[in-house]
Amino acid sequence: MNVGFIGLGLMGRPMALHLEKAGHTLHLWARRPESLAPFAAVNAKTYATPAQVAANAEVVIVMVADAPDVEKVCLGADGLASGSKPGLVVVDMSTINPNAARSIGLRLAEKGIAFVDAPVSGGETGAINAALTIMVGGTPEAFEKVKPLLEKMGKSVTLIGASGAGQVAKACNQILTGVGVLAVAEAFSFAAKSGVDPAKVREALLGGFAYSKILENHGQRMLDRNFKPGFKAWMHQKDLRIVMEEAHRMGLMLPSAAATAQVFNAIVGSGMGENDSITALQLLEKMSTPDGK
Amino acid sequence: MKIGFIGFGTMGQPMAEHLLKAGQELRVWSRRVASADFAVALGAVRCESVQEVASGSEVVCTNVTGSADVEGLATELRSAFAPGAIHLDFSTIAPGAARMIAARHRECGVDFVDAPVSGGGTGARNATLAIMWGGREELAPRLAPIFSVLGKSAVRIGEAGAGQVAKACNQMILVNLIEACAEAAALANAAGIDFGLVREAMLGGSAGSRALEVFGGRMATREFMSPALVPGTVSPKGVPIVEARLHHKDYALLMDEATRIGAPLPVSVMVWQQLNALMAQGWGTQDTSSLLRVLETATRR
């Protein structure tokens, strides 16, 4: 299949390469030309605009940072919509506001383009190992068309519902992981300040109802004090901002997510945003350690 | 009226002084004998024990720090009170503790009145305290001569314990507002704007408050050390000085009460956590405007 791919960053590059390996022809555009370098030796064609990518592809996958980027690639000058052939399906795998996804979907539909939101969970490791969890929102027809492509990038591909539903699922994922990481960091801080070994606490709790993957994996990395990403804290902050924007729009009370979002604000404000989300533990430690003592 | 008085801290000392100067007969006792010397010099009768204070007084005022201190004194007083006596406690303690003491006193025919105050050391010195009390309504005429020389207002909130609930509300509003001021200051500072000017502009508007005036002022000038704690300084007129550790203590009380009765306090619970961090930073004996420094700690690089 002729597949367009826009957004060849940490996540997008390995994802696109999986598609190429599966025999698909890639059609690429990148804002920064150097992003195209890893594709010089493979079956890929490069273009000067997203519109040209759309003109040569049946499906275009977008993997960029935020809603304005998605909007620009899709609907901006020389965007996908201005060059598309009939029947084009755009798959946005970025994490953006669900309401923004719906709005972009509606505007693309007016131009005869199907839009599927398909954000992912699993991080860079998941992208490299083609082991992403992919949450999809869109029509069943569009989903069936892109499902074989998504299955080359992820190990779990689920149609959640109509346009925007994938982003809603991703937002739920970020509530659980954000609050979850903070919960583990708080439990470890509590144990340590009480003079109890957090490693022993983790070991004991793994067998009980408080077991979670976050306690197991993120918890271990906290104990190892390995704050390398993983999933960067500033991205978690961005995702929680989406959650809180939607909660505001819908009139929904999310006290824990709100508190967690503020912790991530502090992490980014103190210059720790490039660390993994588990850097929340360091923030808690800093808050409870007297200055310079 | 024969009045006993126990507890001569920042609040208790000026309060006892006002009563003596108003011509009341005071019977006093203090753990550290010297703390009551000023009262004896003003004509108070020194007692050798708490029981001795109780046996000779119609009303005994206590003004100490925690629930446990009040409970301890209450037990001793109860053993020596004559029936019909009143135990008038000005301390800020848990509403539950106040109710429990009241119930035990009642079995001995003694009344307990919880009468926490707002206004701080300055309010105590200037006799401008706001007194909020809980106890039997019939006691009002017997309490009036005491309240009238200590504060500018005394409102009966309800039965015993109700005064402490009112005080918890008072502290919750005040400290939540201080936190709001701290967050406004942090936002203004981060945006490169002079918070002093922001405060000045806001004081006349809808966001104007005593907290913004007093604590916001200290945030603007970064005077986090309580003037009361700096030798040779006096607090500006009408400015309550409270060490942050006391506000922190108050939050434990009000959160305990909220948990007991199942009242959700989503904002206050977050303010409480900021106070926990303040204590961890070692600023408990400094001004509560230090909440600004807690926010700054979070973004310290």
Interface test with B, best of A193, A291, A293 (most B CBs within 10 A): A291
My answer on whether B16 and B58 are in the same domain is: yes
Pick out chain A residues at pLDDT < 50: 292-293
Q: Does A288 touch chain B (CB under 8 A)?
A: yes
Cβ contacts of A291 on chain B, cutoff 8 Å: 281-282, 297, 300
- How far apart (Å, rounded) are the C-alpha atoms in residues A44 and A53? 11
Structural domain range at position B88: 2-158
pLDDT at B227: 61
- Residue identified by tokens 């909130």 is B157
Contact flag B299-A266 (C-beta cutoff 8 Å): yes
pLDDT at A124: 87
Helix H segments across chain B? 12-21, 37-41, 50-55, 67-78, 95-107, 120-125, 140-150, 162-190, 195-203, 210-221, 244-261, 266-280, 291-298
Interface test with A, best of B273, B283, B295, B297 (most A CBs within 10 A): B297
My answer on whether B153 and B10 are in the same domain is: yes
Q: Does B108 touch chain A (CB under 8 A)?
A: no
My answer on whether B29 and B152 are in the same domain is: yes
My answer on whether B117 and B170 are in the same domain is: no
Phi, psi of A104 (to 5 degrees): -65, -40
- How far apart (Å, rounded) are the C-alpha atoms in residues B127 and B117? 11
Task: Mark which of B138, B158, B178 sits at the end of a domain.
Answer: B158
pLDDT at B237: 45
For B60, the enclosing helix (H) or strand (E) is strand B59-62
CATH number for the domain spanning B246: value is: 1.10.1040.10
Tell me the Cα Rg of chain B: 20
- Burial of residue B98, with CB atoms counted within 10 A of its CB: 0-12 exposed, 13-18 middle, 19 or more buried: buried
By three-state DSSP, how is residue B250 classified? helix
Contact flag B298-A288 (C-beta cutoff 8 Å): no
What's the gap in Å between the CA of B294 and the closest CA on chain A? 7
- How far apart (Å, rounded) are the C-alpha atoms in residues B272 and B219? 19
pLDDT digits (tens, 9 = 90+) for A198-255: 999 999 999 999 999 999 999 999 999 999 988 899 999 999 999 999 999 898 989 9
Interface test with B, best of A254, A286, A287 (most B CBs within 10 A): A287
How far is residue B2 from each of residues B12, B37, B56, measured CA to CA in Å? Answer: 17, 19, 7
Q: Which residues contact A196 (CB under 8 A, 6 or more apart)?
A: none
Cβ contact A73:A66 at 8 Å? no
pLDDT at B239: 47
Helix axes B67-78, B95-107, angle to 10 degrees: 10
| Residue among A259, A269, A289 whose CB faces B280 most closely | A289
What is the CATH class of A2-161?
alpha beta
Structure tokens, B123: 């309010």
- Domain A168-287 architecture: Orthogonal Bundle (1.10)
Give the count of beta carbons closer than 10 Å to the beta carbon of residue A286.
Answer: 19
My answer on whether B194 and B286 are in the same domain is: yes
My answer on whether B123 and B173 are in the same domain is: no
CATH 1.10.1040.10 residue spans of chain A: 168-287
Pick out chain B residues at pLDDT < 70: 226-241
CATH 3.40.50.720 residue spans of chain A: 2-161
pLDDT at B238: 43
* Among A196, A189, A209, A116, residue whose Cα is nearest residue A159: A116
My answer on whether B144 and B179 are in the same domain is: no
The B residues from 266 to 285 touching A (CB cutoff 8 Å) are: 266, 270, 276-277, 280-282
Q: Which residues contact A232 (CB under 8 A, 6 or more apart)?
A: A273, A274, A275, A276, A277
| Residue among B266, B280, B298 whose CB faces A255 most closely | B266
Q: Which residues contact B280 (CB under 8 A, 6 or more apart)?
A: A287, A288, A289, A290
Q: Does B297 touch chain A (CB under 8 A)?
A: yes
My answer on whether B153 and B182 are in the same domain is: no
pLDDT at B262: 85
Cβ contacts of B291 on chain A, cutoff 8 Å: none
What's the gap in Å between the CA of A162 and the closest CA on chain B? 34
My answer on whether B265 and B190 are in the same domain is: yes
For residue A254, the chain B residue with the least C-alpha distance is B266
Q: Does B299 touch chain A (CB under 8 A)?
A: yes
What's the gap in Å between the CA of A231 and the closest CA on chain B? 20
For residue B299, the chain A residue with the least C-alpha distance is A270
CATH number for the domain spanning B73: value is: 3.40.50.720
- How far apart (Å, rounded) are the C-alpha atoms in residues B275 and B269? 10
How many residue contacts between A and B have a Cβ separation below 8 Å?
33
Number of domains in chain B: 2
My answer on whether B217 and B181 are in the same domain is: yes
Cβ contact A154:A120 at 8 Å? yes
Report ipTM (2 d.p.). Answer: 0.73
| Residue among B266, B282, B300 whose CB faces A270 most closely | B300
| Residue among B270, B281, B301 whose CB faces A290 most closely | B281
- Burial of residue A50, with CB atoms counted within 10 A of its CB: 0-12 exposed, 13-18 middle, 19 or more buried: buried
Contact flag B277-A287 (C-beta cutoff 8 Å): yes
Phi, psi of B84 (to 5 degrees): 90, -5
The A residues from 248 to 277 touching B (CB cutoff 8 Å) are: 255, 259, 266, 269-271
Cβ contact B10:B68 at 8 Å? no
* Among A277, A44, A112, residue whose Cα is nearest residue A180: A277
My answer on whether B101 and B137 are in the same domain is: yes
Q: Which residues contact A277 (CB under 8 A, 6 or more apart)?
A: A177, A178, A181, A218, A229, A230, A231, A232, A233, A236, A264
- Residue identified by tokens 């990481």 is A181
Classify each residue of B118-140 as buried b or exposed e, where b means 16 or more C-beta atoms within 10 Å of its C-beta: bbbbbbbbebebbbbbbbeeebe
The B residues from 157 to 196 touching A (CB cutoff 8 Å) are: 190
pLDDT at A182: 97
Helix H segments across A26-161? 50-55, 67-75, 98-110, 123-128, 140-151
Determine the residue type at B161. Answer: G
pLDDT at B119: 86
What's the gap in Å between the CA of A176 and the closest CA on chain B? 20
Task: Mark which of B123, B158, B193 sits at the end of a domain.
Answer: B158
